[in-house]
Every structure is written in structure tokens, then in C-alpha cells.
Amino acid sequence: MQILSYSRGAVLSLMALLVCGCLGRSETPRFYSLSPTLEVQESSRGNNPGPGPAVGLGPVRAADYLDDARMITRTGEHQVVKAEQHRWAGSLKNNIVHVLAENLGTQLNTDRIFLFPWRASVPLDYQVVVEILRLDGRLGESAILVARWSVLAGPEKRLLRAQRSSITEPVTGGDYAALAAAQSRALAGLSREIAQAIQGTSGRPVAAAGKP
């Protein structure tokens, strides 16, 4: 009887270990990326950009806390949460740069967008310098983008505009995909402000990519 009791105890212990192992097994991570606005994507498929201005984009810098593969949300003004199972599919900073470049190319109707660092021989009409101070949000509520940016003109790099932008976009769902979509719209808003600053020097209208 004592041997049977020990056997039952061993079986129960083994079952407990198996259950704990199953419960402790982490979920498969999900990956996300920022995207150009739908208008930009459709334009790139259907139209050829015109001979617009030559624009150098960069340097583009981002706050240190954004240098992380995990997606970031806020639970308060001074507290952030990094999601272990929801991650960016690559470098967030590089993703930001390429989305801004795509948006600006369409909004300025040009295929002459050069990413920093470019060759010294490239004759730029404008240079855009960007610093992303904040890019996060709350699930089911809003995404917030805060950035400082400046536009420089010509080879002498004459300062045309220096501005701080704060853009809020509603998150239309309760998941991380909806948050990434709202952040993409916020980047479209930022690129629109930059494009308007550039086009304001020539009087030409800016394509309203990203506007409803």
C-alpha cells in the first residue's frame, strides 16, 4: 500500500510539472510594421512621380526608448509598457525613415528622395532633418507622435522652417495592429506638414495623402 501511495504521488507530481510547462509556454510573437498611407500606396502603383524637388531626408533620429523590437504603449504619462509578444518586424527607426520617404515622394510628386547619408555630389533642393521624440499610444484610444523637424534649402542649407509637431490619431480597434495603423496615419500627418513647408516656398499645392 505504501508503494502504491508513492506511485500515485509521483504521477501527480509529474502531471503538475506538465501542466506548469504548458501554462508557462510563451505564445508565438506577432510582428507589425508601419506603412505609407493607402493613398500613397495607390499612387505608387498607378502614377509616375513628376520631376519634383530633390529632397534629402535625414538625419532622422529617434528617442532612445524607441530603440526596441517590442511595441510600446502607455499606461500613464510617465509609464510605458513593452509588449513581449507584439514586436516590430525590423528596425523601427528604419521603418519610420522609409515610410516618411514614401509619403513625401507622393506628396511632393517627386521620385528624387534621397536618404541620409547621400553622396556629396547629389544636388539637393531641400534637406529635411527629423527627431522623433515620442511614438506610442494606448490600445483602443489614441496614438501619439511628437517630433522636431527642420527644412533646409539649397547647398548653403538655409533654414526655411524649424518646428515641433504633436499629432494624435484615434486607434480604431483594441489590438496592436490598430495601433500600428494609427501610428502610420500619424507619420502621414507629419510628412504632410513637412511637404507643406517645402511647397510653401514654391506655391504649389501638396497632395493630401492620409487625409480622409
**Tell me: the pLDDT tens digits for 136-162?**
999 999 999 999 999 999 999 999 999
The rounded distance, in Å, linking the Cα atoms of 164 and 20 is 50
Segment 29-84, tens digit of pLDDT: 999 999 997 665 555 555 666 678 999 999 999 999 999 999 999 988 889 999 99
* 24 lies in some domain: no
Q: Which helix (H) or strand (E) holds 127?
A: strand 126-138
**Rounded-to-integer distance, Cα 168 and Cα 189, Å:** 9
Residue 100 within a domain: yes
> What's the domain range around 48?
29-199
- Reading across the β-sheet that carries 113-115, which strands appear in turn? 113-115, 55-62, 126-138, 142-153, 158-170
Q: Which letter, b or e, does each residue of 124-162 get, where b requires 16 or more Cβ atoms within 10 Å of its Cβ?
A: bbbbbbbebebbbbebeeebbbbbebbbbbeeeeeebbe
Establish if 209 belongs to a structural domain: no
Q: How many domains does the chain have?
A: 1
- Residue 212 within any structural domain of the chain: no
Residue 19 placed within a domain: no
Assess contact for 145 and 134: CB atoms under 8 A: yes
- 121 grid coordinates: 555630389
- Domain membership of residue 98 (yes or no) is yes
Q: In this structure, what CATH number is given to the domain that contains residue 76?
A: 3.40.50.10610
pLDDT value, residue 87: 98
Whether 8 maps to a domain, the answer reads no
Count other C-beta atoms under 10 Å from residue 111's C-beta: 14
User: What is the DSSP-derived secondary structure letter of residue 76?
Assistant: E
Task: Identify whether 17 is part of a domain.
Answer: no
Count how many Cα atoms sit within 13 Å of the Cα of residue 153 in the half-sphere of its side chain. Answer: 12
- Residue-wise pLDDT tens digits, 81-127: 999 999 999 999 999 999 999 999 999 999 999 999 999 999 999 99
